[in-house]
Structure 1
Amino acid sequence: MDKLTLLKILGVLVGLFLVSLITVYFLYPKINEDKYEKVVSDFEKQKQQEEYQSFYRPPRPKLNQVEDSSYAGPCYPGYPQDEFAAGYDSASAGMDSLRMVNTRPEVRLIPVPGVMGAEEQRLTGLVDSLQQVIAGLETELSSKEEEFLAVQAELAEMEEEMDPAEFSDRVKSLLNLDEDELAPILEKMSQEQLVRLYFGGGTIQREKILRSLKSDKAAKLMTEIM
């Protein structure tokens, strides 16, 4: 075989090899898709990690530029070079470890109290406002309960002071008046007195009391006794 034939055969083999290599290169992601995605994912993670470290890691001081055997720092003059370098490397490694831990999805650093975003501040203010409203309602409820207890005590004292039979006679004598005569008297009576008068009368007398009162005062009386 002459040299020309050998060169042709060699060229064909090289061409087939290149064609096969290119074909495998383009078909590899489809042939082995899982492994290809894993390789790409690992490469991107490594690249992001290197970029993150290069961005956040502070430059190490150039100790070889120091002429004497001690590091003359801004705060610690005369600090030995080797001890300073070891301490600096240890601190840098610790900071890098903390940064790597904070980037993991299952680990999150606890936010520092007092350093909150606008949304946290808004929610905190809303909670404080609600707590103030609740405190005000509790105070108002407590005062209403005290008023109710005072009215009950006053009614109890009035019942003790007056004999039931005597009270019933007074109610009957009062309710025997005409509605025109009874109305101005009832208007000057307190709500507690109207309640006692209502319960002290019979069905007909109660209807007479309601007819003698103005509509708003009668409604208030019925609301209280119901």
Structure 2
Amino acid sequence: WNTVSQAPAEAFTKDLTFPDNSLYAARASFRIQDIPARLMLVTEQLYGQRIFCNGCELGGSRQYLDKEEPYAAYDITALVRIGENTVVATGRSDTIVRSYAAPFVRLEGDFLLSDANELTAPHAVTCVGDWTQMGYPQYGGTGSYEIEIDCRESAPSAIRFATGDTVALLVDGQPVGTKIGEPYIFPLEGLAGGVHTLRADVTGTLHNLYFGTAAPRGKDQLNGGTLPSGITRVELLY
């Protein structure tokens, strides 16, 4: 609750059956970025309580979640709006049972909280991976390139690729690392004398979103297109 006001019953009205009780008026507010598909307000069902959401008095299902503590759940999806929303509860707290305590309120439903603690609707998040598995069939997934290098005389210290996509490098079947942008340079440490196989897996991934489009781009933009853009140059560094 943002504010809770309490006073002896006589301060609110003179026509009370139990003059020893105290009346309360409590107000809470919350902000919404996106209207959730379902939003419920759960509160204690206290004697003489009235509860309002954005000025509309609530009435609805009553659920007993505990034998000794009655609860009420209200669907407030149609009552909330983008921006600030308010909940107000008024009623009478039994001095013997509740010692003037205002009821709790809780929001439940299909929503997330933003960094600013505002309610926002759940949304799908695209993760790095194969575009063809994410509803973008124009991207063709992963293409693999293999080369063999002879290290009997001297071994390179690194390898550099020129490409516009994501590259994962394996040396003799063992993963070395992954690069999603320039510089595409991988260290080649500890190569013993002999022939070694290098495999580069090139994938069209979220890296393509840097140009702000999910459609195939021109050749000068080195994009995924119908296939990953591929490797245009390989350079061994000594």
TM range (shorter): under 0.3
Task: Report which of the two has the higher share of strand.
Answer: 2
Q: Which has the higher contact order (CA 8 A, sep 6+)?
A: 2
TM-score (norm 1): 0.25
Between Structure 1 and Structure 2, whose CA radius of gyration is higher?
1
Task: Report which of the two has the higher share of helix.
Answer: 1
